[in-house]
Amino acid sequence: MTESKKERIPTEITLKFMTGGKKVLRGQEAIDFYRQAKVVREREKDNSGFTDVDNIDWEKL
């Protein structure tokens, strides 16, 4: 029997914007953002190593 890899999901995420502003996500909001960003990263993976942040639903934040 193999042990499943336990994922560490952050409960606080600080977003820093190029304009100098920042937003702190806490609790369920941070978990939802992390999961959504993970889905986008997996879907948009390419050789460049960059994530297409345009596909993140920023209105939900």
pLDDT at 2 over 70: no
Number of C-alpha atoms within 13 angstroms, CB side, residue 13?
18
1 falls in which pLDDT band (50, 70, 90)?
A: very low
- pTM of the predicted structure, to 2 decimals: 0.57
Task: Spell out the domain ranges in the chain.
Answer: 12-60
pLDDT at 28 over 90: yes
First to last CA, the chain: 39
pLDDT at 43 over 80: no
